[in-house]
Chain A
Amino acid sequence: MRFYEYESRRIVERAGIPVTDYGFCTTAAEARAAAERIGGETVVKSQVLTGGRMKAGGVKFASSPDEAAEHAAEILELEIGGHMPVGVLVDPKADVTQEYYAAVLWDGRAKRPMMLFSDMGGIDIEQVASEHPDHVGRGHLSNLHPIHDFKAKETVSRCGMTGSELNRATMILARLARLQRDYDMTLAEINPVARLGDGSFVALDAHMEMEDEAVGRHKQMLEEIGVDLSEPRELYEPSDFERNVKAIDAADHRGVIQGKDHGFSGNLGLVIGAGGGSLTLTDAVRSQGGKPANYAEIGGNPSVAKSKGLAMEVLRKEGVEKIAVMMSIVSNTRVDIVARGVIKACLELGKDPAETIAVFRIPGAWEEEGAKILDKYGIESGDRSVSMWEAAGTAVSKIQGAGDGG
């Protein structure tokens, strides 16, 4: 789960990491009031979940509260990367002496969180790591033991820092590490951490991402920082197809179906599974010149209604001429039930199953019963002796032989 900048700011603040005064505003009048309270020059930043705000004109500097209000009015109306902002953040233009970088993220290979600290903040950390590796301190944390301050101190010192800066930075990194653990963040990043004219350290910008699987156990914190869990935070707006498949899946607890069509625009509908099988089959269709209309996953022994539901949604997609029903060998999902479901979908849409189902390749549990039903309707089917690649190839050649030639 991704957070808006103002939410990340609140999370960091709650963890005891100093931040500058700021205001989250949804109107120009609120932005004026925030700028007045903060005093001096301010920055007005669009609150959207996409990058490239600066380039798109979503970040503007203001020398007076009136100017901050003007910028806010513009930015609140400005769409960035297909997203309208949920508000603006008004920040002081801080008196920065030096910028640093602090982050805690998972190291999948070590299976532990890793702290990163650099005295070259404000810029892309990957660039710093490759060009100035001695300016990036790293340190792993145990998953079982408490997070001791000295671990953060070691990490900060590894980028060559000492003096009072070392002690102040240590405090920030240690608190960031506890925050990452306490709130299941896959990424907890402050860039930049700034040393101000008076020597104090503050977080100027923060980027937090919480693991989706853990959102349920942090509801209280999320509520306290004002996160609305009913509001979707997808990278893109779900399509009708995606929404409908999700609704069909939610309506029945038996089995799991998923459908995606963002980025797909072909004519061959895919009713495929399971997880790894879907990836393999999508590749097999594309590698043989086929154009999938969607991506799908079936698994966990879905009911006839659920299998039918997915097949109908795929068949209703614009431009879909045929569907391929394919899975890797199944042990839990029943072949005959999926067969019944997809045939029913064809019949209810007034289509001939033998024409519409380019190929049916699901070997495994109840395959003999499945084969009987498929034969009855004259549908081309294959058992495990037909490879996934061959089944995909059959579907591609049939659709290329039909209609406009794909």
Chain B
Amino acid sequence: MSILLSEDFTFIVQGITGREAVNLTRECLDYGSKVVGGVTPGRKGREVHGVPVWDTVEQAVEHHGAPIDGAVVTVPPAFTKDAVMEAIENEIKLIVVVTERIPRRDVAEMVELANERGARIIGPNCLGLIVPGVCKMGGIGGPAKDAAKAYVAGSVGVMSRSGGMTTEISSTLTAAGLGVSTAVSIGGDAIIGSTYAELMPYFEEDSLTEAIVIYTEPGGRMEAELTEWREDVGSRLPIVAFMAGRFMDDEEMQGMSFGHAGTIVEGKEDSATEKIARLEAAGIPVVERIDEIPDAVKAKL
């Protein structure tokens, strides 16, 4: 079992002829994912690693002859909103937005449309998601052989604001014999398609997932949303958190921005110290070291 993806999950890559998209397509195909088409306006008729390229999502769906489940969007920031709208209008239900530096207004617009149409957006500014041994959607984990090394099927769901740290944490869980049910790089921006709390119901229903690990940073209110959700539904899943960027609480760092766009500390409530206190008060241990995560998870199982 897993969340969002499955063995038969089909997806397209929008912006497939770009340098990074070509690599990503190769990696996903090698991993066994079903990449059924690609879209780059004006490039219809080409192929990328055997995947047919179309001008429109509509053409890709028509050629496939059945609804397509997902889309990975990796087009320049100025065109991202349009690409996502196109995917949603063509009945695609899961959209991973890889592109960085998209203005918040554009993200908010696509997320609102997705909500109205029953579609889900992961990202932007993310590496996608992976179900070990089943499907990899996006650049998460890198080339198939590297992804196989870091991600082994298991019982822990991972959600991370940092793409790279999704792999670091999953590798640690894999080495400790716990493994990963599904890992999601949710993106580091101030407004994202799917927050921890919005993905929790999927993990809650997944029989394989027994615990959750989140990676977080200063900025935003996503942890408060998570702890409230957990209390409201009386979730069965224990959660372990890791908070990076504690050093930003120091006085000499005030007003500076580090890491992701979302990591701009705007007020006391967004700081690492405040967030750690809030998570721990809600019964979510916050470990100081990545290598402490497996033991913290085992203690909760």
Contacts and interface: CB of A to CB of B under 8 A. Distances in A.
Interface of A: 106, 108-109, 111-113, 142-144, 181, 184, 186, 211, 213-214, 217, 235, 260, 262-263, 273-280, 282-284, 286-287, 295, 297, 299, 327-332, 363-365, 384-385, 387-390
B257 to A, nearest CB: 9
A387 B291 contact: yes
Contacts of A262: 256
Contacts of A297: 259
A214 B167 contact: no
A138 B217 CA distance: 28
Given A389-B289, A389-B290, A214 B105 contact: yes
A385 B175 contact: yes
A184 B161 CA distance: 23
B171 A280 contact: no
A277 B105 CA distance: 28
Interface in B159-206: 160-165, 167-168, 171-172, 175, 188, 190-191
24 contacts: A108-B220, A111-B111, A184-B104, A213-B103, A214-B103, A217-B78, A260-B256, A260-B258, A276-B161, A276-B217, A278-B258, A279-B162, A282-B247, A283-B245, A286-B246, A287-B288, A297-B259, A299-B164, A331-B164, A331-B167, A384-B150, A388-B168, A389-B289, A389-B290
A329 B252 contact: no
Contact of A112 (B108, B146, B188): B108
Contact of B256 (A235, A283, A330, A388): A235
Nearest to B272: A283
A329 B163 CA distance: 10
B141 interface: yes
Contacts of B261: 213
Cβ-closest 9 pairs across A and B: A331-B142, A276-B162, A387-B291, A279-B244, A263-B252, A276-B165, A214-B103, A328-B168, A389-B289
B215 interface: yes
Nearest to A180: B105
A300 to B, nearest CB: 9
Nearest to A185: B105
B277 interface: no
Contacts of A331: 139, 141-143, 146-147, 164, 167
Nearest to A210: B103
B221 interface: yes
B265 to A, nearest CB: 12
Contact of B258 (A274, A295, A330, A364): A295
Contacts, number: 160
Nearest to A265: B252
Nearest to B242: A280
Given A263-B256, A331-B143, A365-B142, A184 B103 contact: yes
B291 A143 contact: no
A276 B167 contact: no
A260 B221 CA distance: 26
B101 interface: yes
A262 B255 CA distance: 11
A143 B116 CA distance: 12
Interface of B: 77-78, 101-105, 107-109, 111-113, 116, 139, 141-143, 146-147, 150, 160-165, 167-168, 171-172, 175, 188, 190-191, 215, 217, 220-222, 225, 242, 244-248, 250, 252-253, 255-256, 258-261, 263, 288-291
B9 to A, nearest CB: 21
Query: Which of A143, A144, A329 has the largest count of B CB atoms less than 10 A from its CB?
Result: A329
A143 B121 CA distance: 16
Query: Which of A143, A327, A330 has the largest count of B CB atoms less than 10 A from its CB?
Result: A143
A388 B162 CA distance: 15
A261 to B, nearest CB: 11
Contact of B142 (A278, A280, A332): A332
Contacts of A363: 171
Contacts of B248: 279
Given A277-B162, A279-B263, A365-B142, A384 B171 contact: yes
B108 A276 contact: no
Given A276-B259, A329-B150, 12 more contacts: A144-B116, A262-B256, A276-B164, A279-B248, A280-B242, A282-B245, A283-B247, A297-B259, A331-B142, A364-B146, A384-B150, A389-B291
A373 to B, nearest CB: 19
Given A283-B245, A365-B146, A144 B109 contact: yes
A275 B105 contact: no
